[in-house]
Structure 1
């Protein structure tokens, strides 16, 4: 299974923890896309938007790492919209400070009735 972690670069530490978790449970390195780490992200010389479009078009499972910073980023919202159009399977994982009742989330293309969880919820993440 290919996994795409859609996140704000300002939340790279949370994303890195997710990558460590995924690799620890056996997800292969080459099946993870995480643009805040060059080992998992955009290759040198690649056109950023073409590369991302190609990755999203492969229909990976998308992990939306949602935070206040995510909804402040045009790039993140573009990723969300692109993955939504392709109808990728996904899950929302919220940073501890994210307001799930906020209008940014409630008015996004993601269905707020779909069960997500907070990154610091040990039971749900495992």
Structure 2
């Protein structure tokens, strides 16, 4: 109700706006269907075990995203593969036999966080921009992470709403870990020394990639 009126009378809009408009149409349709069949959706959510974190990313950035998931989220924070959805990685991807579009839509609807892994590849992907728009429409807890070579100015309207962080920002990753450990009350949380080691490994892999 606030996003679309903001485009009225604007003579020039960016790619985010097209992605946002398309996503609004898709998500409104999904929410109408959900209202018409709440029981079915509850059953789907239970059977599919909704993920905690939805990773919105470009498949061209698979290597960096995989390193982030393995070293930061799993080894550093103690999350399990089933806690994260990243469609381009086998361990955290879409299960065999699932309708891809339907499965992604439902996981986006029920997840706790949506991480935007923003790179030039991301900004040039209509699918990524649709996921971004969908997350905003659903009022999800979003966390934009920029690749080192990306600039905050590239985030457009996104940066005006939510402050992003660079993937190589030491303090930002510490804050992320504290938030996740507190939210999920992880019992088998890695020690601080282990976290520091995994974070250093991630920065090293990030530089090489």
Normalized against structure 2, the TM-score is what?
0.55
Task: Work out whether residues 152 and 159 of structure 2, in 8 Å CA contact, stay in contact via their aligned partners in 1.
Answer: no
In 1, the alpha carbon distance for the partners of 2:86 and 2:113 equals: 12
**How many pairs are equivalent?**
122
Q: Can you give the 5+ residue segments of structure 1 that lack an aligned partner in the other structure?
A: none
| RMSD, aligned α-carbons | 1.6
Does residue 94 of structure 2 align to residue 15 of structure 1?
Answer: no
Shift of 1:45: 2.3
Partner of 1:101, secondary structure, is helix
Task: Work out whether residues 59 and 86 of structure 1, in 8 Å CA contact, stay in contact via their aligned partners in 2.
Answer: no
Residue deviations 1:21-56 (CA, integer Å, cap 9, x gap)? 111111122111111112111122221110100100
- In the TM superposition, 1:1-126 aligns within 5 A as 2-20=52-70, 21-24=72-75, 25-102=77-154, 105-107=155-157, 110-126=158-174
Normalized against structure 1, the TM-score is what?
0.88
In 2, the alpha carbon distance for the partners of 1:40 and 1:66 equals: 19
Larger Rg: 2
Partner of 2:60, secondary structure, is helix
**Richer in strand (by share):** 1
Is the alpha carbon distance of 1:111 and 1:118 closer, same or farther for their aligned partners in structure 2, counting shifts above 3 Å?
A: closer
Shift of 1:113: 4.8
Structure 1 stretch displaced more, 49-58 or 74-83: 74-83
Q: Can you give the 5+ residue segments of structure 2 that lack an aligned partner in the other structure?
A: 1-50, 175-209
In 2, the alpha carbon distance for the partners of 1:125 and 1:36 equals: 22
